[in-house]
Structure 1
Amino acid sequence: MMKITSVTARQLLDCKTRPLVEVEITTDNGYVGRGAAPTGSSVGAHEAFILRDGDPTEYNGLSVHRAVDAVNNEIAPALVGTQLDLEANDRLMIDLDGTPNKSRLGGNAIYSTSIALLRAASTAAGLPTYSWIAEHFGPGPVSQVPVPSFNMINGGRYGDVVQPFNEFIVMPYKACSIQDAVEKSVKLFGVLEEVLTEYLGRKPQVASSYGFASPSSDPREVLKLLMTAVERAGVAETMAFALDCASSEMFDAATGSYELNGDRVTSDDLIDYVRELSDEFPFVFIEDLLDEDDWAGYPKAVAQIDKSIILGDDLVVTNRDRLQRAVESSAVGGFILKPNQVGTITEALDCYRYAVAHDLFTIPSGRSGGVIDDVVMDLSVGLSVPFQKNGAPRSGERIEKLNFLLRVADSTPGCVLADVPAIVKF
């Protein structure tokens, strides 16, 4: 067993120029692992705490020097001299922090260190990180890559347009290879720009998540435009859709209502509306249909929407206890895996194992902005998941995710694209 000889943290930037923590770990035989913790643009109420400085004179309060200091002054002394053991090291940090949501040391400090531990272990084993994950936690040697899905149109508020659904996603679920999946999706993105330009009479706005800003407040209208683009691009037989509703963003706790097409509607109304959409359009999955604490509504959604997989992101936040509650109440068909939400690789993998044991899908996703060399890609391949979320096919860190899949497929003999047609419900 190797011992940890140094743990060093620094402040760097994510791909939206927001400060993040990077941690570098060195072992006694010279192996090095690095990890960096991206955060989302919208952070669920139940996620691990992101420790920032709050100093308005530096990065508008987003700097992370306190989290860096937590690594250098508390985590490092606790880890240096211990054996490199991912699970034991993660547990040590959890106990050292001592809070339910990692608020003392910072979830960003702990998670960055956890990634660095994982990278150091895989480097020492002489394996790509995804192969190390496959060997220790996955179903076996890597034999497939997941189908990517693409956030083509982004919801939100754009002038007079208030689109309640956060992401309108297209997935090349019937592609014959990862090369085919990427090429057809890139082609579609270009055709979609033409379709939106014709619809708007001007070029579409680029949204903060790099997809196109929604041209309409009506989700059905947006889906019709996507269908037009799919048909014009000649890829209708390959593509299906998905939604990330992110409904917590449009939920009003005082009235218990959601915004939809200019009105306030109930949880039941929203479920009925999306069920109707699922009868019109082929949805592989529907994510975060309801508020992150609407535990009564999600089982209704699963029971009533039978043509799509219902996924929980803000509902579950990669938290084993919340996933267990979701399983016991039949609230989801799967969850979005974002390890930074819970704060360690070990806890994220515990959530994955629980999902597998209860026949739920685990769907890895990066965060808005993100980082190059995102560990979620290693998890996607190493855990042999069927599909993943990739964001829009634009900007460096998103393109790198696609290149990662292309590279793995090319360098792994017999590697195939996951069989998503076997699991869709439409």
Structure 2
Amino acid sequence: MNRYLPIRKVYAREVLDSRGNPTVEAEITVGEGIVGKDGYTGRAIVPSGASTGKFEALELRDAEPRYRGLGVQRAVEHVNTVLADAVLGENALCQSRIDCLLLEADGTEKKEHMGANAILAVSLAVADAAAKAMRMPLYQYLGGCKSTQLPVPMMNILNGGKHADNTVDFQEFMIMPVGACCFKEGLRMCAEVYHTLKEFLKERKLSAAVGDEGGFAPDVQGAKEALAMMAEAVKRAGYTLGKDICFAIDVAASELYEEDKKAYYFPGESFMTGTEVYRTAEEMTAYYEELTETFPVLSIEDGLDQEDWEGWQRLTQRLGQKVQLVGDDLFVTNTERIARGITMGAGNAVLIKVNQIGTLTEAMEAVELAHKAGYRTILSHRSGESEDTFLADLAVAAGSGQIKAGAPCRGERTAKYNRLLAIEDMLGETACYDYKGINGNLRK
């Protein structure tokens, strides 16, 4: 684009995320005239994870008494001073240049000086402001006129691990409405299964309280029992398991791994059975094979530790032809780590979290690299979210075909789903929702 759209104002504030913790919100005003007269203001709120990979970009926290050490005043100050100076007057339509200037202002690989939360807030808000100035929907501004594919939701309906205070060791159990004709119907199917599961849990006198991402958090013995309850909910809701609804799992194995024992410890399962439960990488792989033979599990995320590249290779050789093996902590939306995985044949899909890497440009480069190599991508929220809906537009723009946005409850989760409903309406007959199977091309 040759048009010049200068950044006129940069401002950030400390706001709260869905867990009641501070995060950064940025406002960017662009326009050729006087701010407030004919300018356009974009906004972005940065999400935050509870289960984080050690190779993620740094989320800067104040480590002071206020907000129990989780304040982000320093990150906010960095936006309002150093980062503002770096981008004021720059062309908001040149996203890659803006992001490059932000990275130069920080100067570290993991965004340790400014904080990835400060950098990302500016990066996303610039894109939002530019889309508004161009009078284009954000998804179209980011992805172009061919951005027509609505993502299949990987909807979290049962929480465990660091996302819930219960005995479930795996972090997320999700449903995927693969048999739906469109996003609207897929969302309805998921919501009906979700509420049916709630009724079933109450029948069994189990807790229907929810975890960080809105999924229920009952005390159950392990993955098999959790999946069996989900299967019953699918049946009771009137759907066919494996045809209408399939399952996905986020193991978050790095949270279970004990380096000294070279094994994965299952504290919840140990508590429920009264016996210490450890599994080696080989036993984890065998466990996943058993689960996929018993239930229609299409996707397994972070099945092994984030540094066990050889284990990931073996896991992919065993299961990669029939199951989507997603690297989250393994890849952390980082092109260098994704390239290593592609070379080694570790995993076959990448979870994309913009706050893992820190800029919109880097996240889009990660998507492009993955797709070129035949790896699938899933756009993902974090456990600490907000009402910001950028993720929904980005999922359509990236053509990923899959999204993780949580359960069909809690406003920070439903905001993303409702935005996707609006996008589907805007696209009309050109909207595409087509899950082609685990080995299919999700980008069509």
Amino acid at match of 2:71: S
Q: Which residue of 1 aligns with 2:379?
A: 364
Structure-to-structure mapping, 1:228-247, within 5 angstroms: 228-236=232-240, 237-247=243-253
Deviation at 1:424, TM superposition (A): 5.4
Q: 2:14 aligned with 1:8, yes or no? A: no
Aligned to 2:274: none
Change (3 A) 1:156 1:82: closer
Q: Secondary structure at the match of 1:130?
A: helix
Q: Which moved more, 1:209-218 or 1:32-41?
A: 209-218
Match of residue 175 from structure 1: 180
Contact 2:44 2:388 in 1 (8 A): no
Instruction: Give the corresponding residue for 2:104.
Output: 95
**What secondary structure does 1:66 align onto?**
helix
Q: Contact 1:149–1:388 at 8 Å: present in 2 too?
A: yes
Deviation at 1:28, TM superposition (A): 3.6
- 1:379 lines up with 2:387 in the alignment: no
The 8 Å contact of residues 31 and 133 in structure 2, kept in 1 or not, is answered as no
Cα distance between partner residues in 1 of 2:236 and 2:336: 45
- Measure how far apart 1:155 and its partner are: 1.5
Post-superposition Cα deviations, 1:34-69, rounded to whole Å, max 9, x if no partner, equal 12211112221111101111112x211111100011
Q: Tell me: CA distance 1:156–1:92, structure 2 relative to 1, closer, same or farther (3 Å).
A: same
Mapped pair 1:225 → 2:226:
no
| Cα shift readout 1:390-416 (whole Å, capped 9, x = no counterpart) | 211110011111111111111212144
Instruction: Give the superposition deviation at 1:162.
Output: 3.1
Structure 2 counterpart of 1:208: 212
How far apart, in 2, do the equivalents of 1:340 and 1:202 lie?
A: 35
Does the CA-based 8 Å contact 2:357-2:363 persist in structure 1?
A: yes
* Residue number among 123, 128, 144 corresponding to 2:137 in the alignment: 128
Alpha-carbon distance, 1:209 to partner? 2.7
Instruction: Tell me if the contact between 1:279 and 1:307 (Cα under 8 Å) persists in the aligned partners.
Output: no
**Matches of 2:46 and 2:23, distance apart in 1:** 6
Q: CA deviation at 1:285?
A: 0.9
Task: Indicate which of 75, 84, 102 corresponds to 2:83.
Answer: 75
Kept in 2: contact 1:317–1:342 (CA 8 A): yes
1:68-88 CA distances to partner (integer Å, 9 max, x unpaired)?
Answer: 111111111121122222111
**1:106/1:414 CA distance change after superposition, 3 Å:** same
**CA distance 1:109–1:159, change in 2 (3 Å):** closer
Contact 1:155 1:167 in 2 (8 A): yes
What's the secondary structure of 2:168's corresponding residue?
strand
SS at match of 1:144: coil
**In structure 1, the residue corresponding to 2:169 is in which secondary structure?**
strand
Query: Which residue of 2 is the match for residue 188 of structure 1?
Result: 193
- Deviation of residue 107 (structure 1)? 0.5
| Structure 1 residue identity aligned to 2:435 | V
Q: Distance in 1 between matches of 2:232 and 2:173?
A: 14
Say whether the 8 Å CA contact 2:264–2:280 is kept in structure 1.
Answer: yes
Alpha-carbon spacing, 1:291–1:186, altered in 2? closer, same or farther (3 Å): same
Deviations 1:304-335 (CA, angstroms, capped at 9, x unpaired): 11321101001000001010011011101110
Normalising by the residue count of structure 2, what TM-score does the alignment of the two structures yield? 0.91
Long gaps (5+) in structure 1:
none
Do 1:145 and 1:415's aligned partners in 2 also have CA atoms closer than 8 Å?
Answer: no
CA shift at 1:417, angstroms? 4.4
CA-based RMSD:
1.8
- Mapping 1:49-64, distance limit 5 Å: 49-56=58-65, 58-64=66-72
* CA deviation map 1:369-392 (0-9, x unaligned): 312133221111112221111211
- Flag the structure with higher strand content: 1
Contact map agreement 1:366 1:374 (CA 8 A) in 2: no
Aligned length: 419
- Unaligned stretches of 5+ in structure 2? 33-38, 271-276
**Aligned match of 2:153:** 148
Residue in structure 2 matched with residue 24 of structure 1 by the alignment: 27
- Residue type of the alignment partner of 1:343: G
- Give the letter for the 2:171 counterpart: N
Please tell me whether residue 65 in structure 1 is matched to residue 73 in structure 2. yes
User: How far apart in 1 are the matches of 2:416 and 2:163?
Assistant: 28
Q: Which residue of 2 aligns with 1:257?
A: 263
The CA distance in 2 between the partners of 1:28 and 1:160, in whole Å, is: 48
Residues 132 and 160 (structure 1 numbering): CA distance in 2 closer, same or farther, change over 3 Å?
closer
CA separation of 1:283/1:353 partners in 2, compared to 1, >3 Å: closer, same or farther? same
| Partner SS, residue 398 of structure 1 | helix
| Cα distance change on mapping 1:244 and 1:179 into 2, 3 Å | same
C-alpha contact 1:12 1:22 (8 A) present in aligned 2:
yes
Looking at structure 2, the residues matched to 36 and 124 of structure 1 have their Cα atoms a distance apart, in angstroms, of 19
Query: Secondary structure in 1 aligned to 2:160?
Result: strand
CA apart distance, 1:300: 0.8
Corresponding position of 2:313: 299
Kindly tell me: are residues 183 and 424 of structure 1, through their superposed partners in 2, closer, same or farther at Cα, counting changes over 3 Å? farther
Does the 8 Å contact 2:131/2:138 carry over to 1? Answer: yes
More deviation in 80-89 or 157-166? Answer: 157-166
Match of 2:35 in 1: none
Greater CA drift, 141-150 or 286-295: 141-150
CA distance in 2, matches of 1:382, 1:123: 16
- Separation in 1, partners of 2:200, 2:162: 21
Give the 3 Å change call, closer, same or farther, for CA 190–122 of structure 1 in structure 2: same
1:414 corresponds to 2:429 = yes
